[in-house]
Structure 1
Amino acid sequence: MASKLFSPITLRQTEIRNRLWVSPMCQYSATARDGMPTDWHLGHYAGMARGGAGLVIVEATGVVPEGRISPECLGLWNDAQRDALGRVVELVHAAGAKIAVQLGHAGRKASTYAWLPGAVEGTVPESEGGWATVAPSARAFGDLAEPREMTQTDIDAAVTAFVSASTRAVEAGFDAVEIHGAHGYLGHQFLSPLSNLRTDEYGGDLWGRSRFLREVVAGVRDAHPVLPVLVRLSATDWVEGGLTAEDVTQVAGWLQDAGADLIDVSSGGNVERAQIPVGAGYQAPLAAKVKDSGAPVAAVGMITSAQQAETLLRLGSVDAVCVAREWLRNPYLGLHWAKELRGDLDAIRPAQLWRAF
């Protein structure tokens, strides 16, 4: 029986060679603090493409300078960044994979120190290259600096920035974009009643709280009719009174109506010290629930074996799997898993590696 994991999937007019994808993972390696990729990014993403990934999703990339999680995060707010990321795209394409970029705005969780071993935690002060943050409401995340509540002008500018960044992504050669609406960043901040206390059209009920994400997706879709658009959502806040899987299933349907092609289902990140039952495939049931919306979904979160990923796809629970840490441990993960599942190695194996696989 042919492997489901190593079968192609088509989004819009783009065929992706398999359903084993690289989840976006922050590298905090734009060391000049200008949002520009470095040699690390070139080797990192090309390596996993050579390792057999179907779709490589580049880490959270700020649509504006103040949208970066840390000063060392990537950006796509200017043409120099576009041109530099184009080289990453070329290397991934040369290895036979498709590539997307996760477009993000961290909102109240921006301007933090890089999450690296030994790093200081908390908000980077302006004296050290940090900046003032914005959010749907003036409510801080934990001990981070309190953000300024966004005005209508701020919201309009943020939507425009996402659309502009998507245009630069297309110009750089990216095959798809992913809108980051998870993990407590700006899209999630609007969506969750725990961080969105607004009483205008961007707050209140679920329809209002989802307006920002709907406008971003619709704007990208209008600008790029055939570009595959993914959206990463946190399917639950894991706390009472927060987002639920039922809420996010409804939102996923609305986002599909706005032009989204696939929902990348994660969870949490908007509340400190939430009790999250982390374990093998712990978010896959959430992805299966969100799939009830009718939208294709990808699962992510402690997917650590070929058989686990294959089973999720064969059960029809998900349409693709995004793997993170296993790719970091083994950039040739796709080749190993294809061999284990008797997938078509010739479709993904670089000729230079045939002695090993």
Structure 2
Amino acid sequence: MEDAIPASPVYAPEEILALAVCASPNGSRDAGDLALLHAARERGITLPYAQRENSWEAPSRERPYSTAVLKAADKADASPFMVARGNLKALEKLCEVSSLEKERMNKAFEEHSPSGFEPVAVAVHRSGAPWRLLGVVPMHAMRDVRRLSMAKANFRYFHVWDWPLRVLHWTWVLCIIGLSATGICIAEGWFLKMGDLHGAFQFGTLRFVHYALGWILVVVMMLRFSCFFMASNKYQSFRALFPVSRQEWKDLYATAVDYLFARSYDGPRYIGHNPLQQWTYTGVYVLFTTMVVTGLALYALYEPRHWFYRWFMPLNDLIGIPYVRLVHLIGMWCFIIFAMIHVYLSILSGNVDRDGTISSMFSGGRWLRKGVKFRDE
């Protein structure tokens, strides 16, 4: 836990931290609330405020910050006041902070906070005065180490992926690995030894494995497309392929920026695929179709008169066999690059947002924190 960052020299960091602690619900066992309390005790900060009973209000979709009514604990005649704690942007809007003050606050946070910390803003509202932003407390994303029976109360369960889709997903993964490995060997021929009479059919065996995996992948994709129309929820339906609403188009840019800079704290949240994922997976299906067509065109060279393969021969005549092979090879490297980025972003999302992205492809469901707004809920 870092020291609080005041919005103005008038406010002391100790006062901001004390208010942040007192703004927690009475008796809270939340990991973030406990971290604030621990930080205050480490610094020897006394808590001069008492929270009015049943005054704490949890964050909501429209208001991503909590509020509570506090009063000086040692003064019976002290006037109560409200304190808000939560999202910095929301509290800046509530307090009508100017653009210059926003820039100053954000710059101060970036200068004094290590990477991986997020700002927890604190604002107060006293009788006869407007809301005033006091500052922020930099907090690091923490794992909730409480018992599962306690943690479930703060999370909601969503069934997202059916078992057929999960089976097809992992079959797809195995096929892509096998096709990439055999494809590289076919393209480079590293394993071939000139004059080796004992392993003369190695290349033929390799090509057979490559084609067999290709046909398995074709069947997998046909079944995957059928899942679009037989899905048990909207997160797996054909609608999930494309961002069609105006809000999704806006979120496309915000999500891309979050992924680019490895941050997901304030970005738009989706239970299923976000707009960037929708377009990416749509592109993957287009790339897969290209790989199948070019692969069958190359195979057709060995069976040009076959009733099925002859439909793909015109592609070789149209752009030339070397270019068909080049497109097929480039497509393979695109798949490999996509797989690396896909795994990295899945791990990033699972560790930064704690949203069960990876585990959902095994269990089919996600435990998502209550109070978080999801666009596709």
TM-score bucket of the superposed structures, by smaller chain: under 0.3
Who wins on radius of gyration, i.e. which is larger? 2
Q: Give TM-score, length-normalised by structure 1.
A: 0.22
Structure with the higher helix share, 1 or 2? 2
